[in-house]
Chain A
């Protein structure tokens, strides 16, 4: 096993833990993207460039966009619910 492969394995282990330990969903999406890059590096140094390409397009572009759009929608909904509450009770 080469040094690059060991580094990639360690990065993936640390990155996976970082994704799980990030509490806030918006920040978690960003950490997940970085974790995807480390997985891409892992696949690349283990001589699987096809898988590396799939990995980077899915975690780099595909997944974050959907998660971000969903998060924004949830935030809008919460905001609207808060506004309605305000109107009903008359206090912020």
Chain B
């Protein structure tokens, strides 16, 4: 296809798209004036009926708790897929700590400043991650965000030192366990609702005082389950990818420098 023909095609398609966008955007309500009924209902009911002060978490773990269950298992399945594919590609048995040359793999290019910053960051990341997970129903955050922040803690160990140190803190078996346990825990919490309240994922626990750490029934438990799964899932994915690039097949001559 020649350049003028392609340009002509683009102009036709582009002007069509632009026209559709203009028509669509002019039909929108004015900025800040849209107050949807669903939003108002959620804002009214969640703090009073569920004692949750962060309505977004309440939405995730209460109103659409079943959707969250589906998302949990989407994450679980995709991480399992990544692990299966990358392990198959490496074509070698998984033997923790016995890979030859693994001791050498470090960020040789890491400056002292980066190492120090990473070391200072480790406790801060862990504390902030735990805060986000445990205060899911109270303040912005929740299991997913807290889980990723928690997973960044061991990554700071990698930046501060050696890949092996990170793998010692977070070995694959533990990560697999956390990933599976978190996913299973969320499903089992739902089952608890079926047993004690008669409906899957219905809240059988006392709601507590609004604003307290232990309030909003099952929401803190759900948040912890999601946090556990997300921490395991992200770290496992990163470990599989880093195994590929930090260790790689034995024939690799490089691998001692940072990316």
Contact = CB atoms under 8 A, between A and B. Distances in A.
B252 A66 contact: no
Contact of B245 (A73, A79, A83): A73
A50 B141 contact: yes
B132 interface: yes
A79 to B, nearest CB: 6
A53 B166 CA distance: 25
Given A50-B57, A57-B148, A65-B155, A73 B244 contact: yes
A70 B241 contact: yes
Contact of B238 (A50, A52, A69, A83): A69
Contacts of B155: 61, 65
A22 interface: no
Interface of A is mostly: helix
Contacts of A72: 245, 259
A83 B259 CA distance: 19
B132 A76 contact: no
Interface string B237-259: 11001101110100111110001
Interface string B180-203: 000000000000000000000000
Interface of B: 31-32, 54, 56-57, 132, 140-142, 144-145, 148-149, 151-152, 155, 234, 237-238, 241-242, 244-246, 248, 251-255, 259
Interface of A: 1, 49-54, 57-58, 61-62, 65-66, 68-73, 75-76, 79-80, 83
